[in-house]
Amino acid sequence: MSIFKIHAREIFDSHGNPTVEVDLCTSKGLSRAAVPSGDSTGIYKVLELWDNDNTHYVGKGVSKAIEHINKTIAPALVSKKLNVVEQEKVDRLMIKMDGTENKSKFGANAILGVSLAVCKADAVENGLPLCRHITDLAGNSEVILPVPSFNVINSSSHAGNELAMQEFMILPVGASSFKEAMCIRAEVYQT
């Protein structure tokens, strides 16, 4: 199932910050992926490409990343008639086109958005739930349902204090369902 159209746009995350959303079209329909974004940086992290225009979303606009997708990445993937079942080939091509170790040319937010949309389209192609498809890509035989993680205490630059850790999070790994995990989170946070 070849990719015949990719289009990116700016959306907003749960904090009201701009982020990238990618639509990828194949003969089986549209797959959409939204990129998570964050404020933290580190020497080993790949870079989200922000516009750095302080008059537009305090410098965190993502129009440059979107332009890279719509004008460079999308035409390259469509012209090569890449198939969504070729996840690794698609990812390697984007990384090669970017040419930087930390993904600073296109932005990790651009590359991840396209990669996630390809992954979702591949799951559709194979008739699998996304979690089963990702499990297969990882070479695992057993599906392990996602466990939500919850930030309960912010520190460092996120909260203006001097705690050594950036965030304190809980993972309710003993929950029997996602709903029970949400209940555990609420009970921990509220008490």
Beta bridge partners of 6: 24
Render pLDDT for 75-130 as a digit per residue (tens, 0 to 9).
999 999 999 999 999 999 999 999 999 999 999 999 999 999 999 999 999 999 99
Q: Are residues 95 and 185 in the same domain?
A: no
Alpha helices in the chain (DSSP H): 63-68, 74-79, 87-98, 108-125, 130-137, 178-190
Residue 71: both structure tokens together: 């004008």
- Rounded-to-integer distance, Cα 48 and Cα 61, Å: 11
Render pLDDT for 2-38 as a digit per residue (tens, 0 to 9).
899 999 999 998 888 999 999 999 999 999 999 987 6
- Rounded-to-integer distance, Cα 90 and Cα 20, Å: 18
Domain finish residue from 93, 108, 137? 137
Q: Are residues 131 and 163 in the same domain?
A: no
Residue 61: both structure tokens together: 């606009």
Q: Are residues 27 and 117 in the same domain?
A: yes
Is the per-residue pLDDT at 158 higher than 60?
no
Residue 80 sits in a domain whose CATH number is 3.30.390.10
Domain membership of residue 54 as a residue range: 5-137
In a domain, 38, yes or no: yes
Give the chain's domain count: 2
Paired sense of beta strands 167-170 and 150-154, if any: antiparallel
Q: Compare 162 and 83 and report the one with higher pLDDT.
A: 83
Is the per-residue pLDDT at 50 higher than 70?
yes
pLDDT bucket at 151, cuts 50 / 70 / 90:
confident
Is the per-residue pLDDT at 159 higher than 70?
no
**Average pLDDT, stretch 48-74?**
94
In a domain, 108, yes or no: yes
DSSP assignment of 16-32, as one string? S-EEEEEEEEETTEEEE
In a domain, 181, yes or no: yes
In a domain, 142, yes or no: no
Is the per-residue pLDDT at 157 higher than 70?
no
In a domain, 93, yes or no: yes
Q: Are residues 75 and 162 in the same domain?
A: no
Q: Are residues 47 and 130 in the same domain?
A: yes
In a domain, 145, yes or no: no
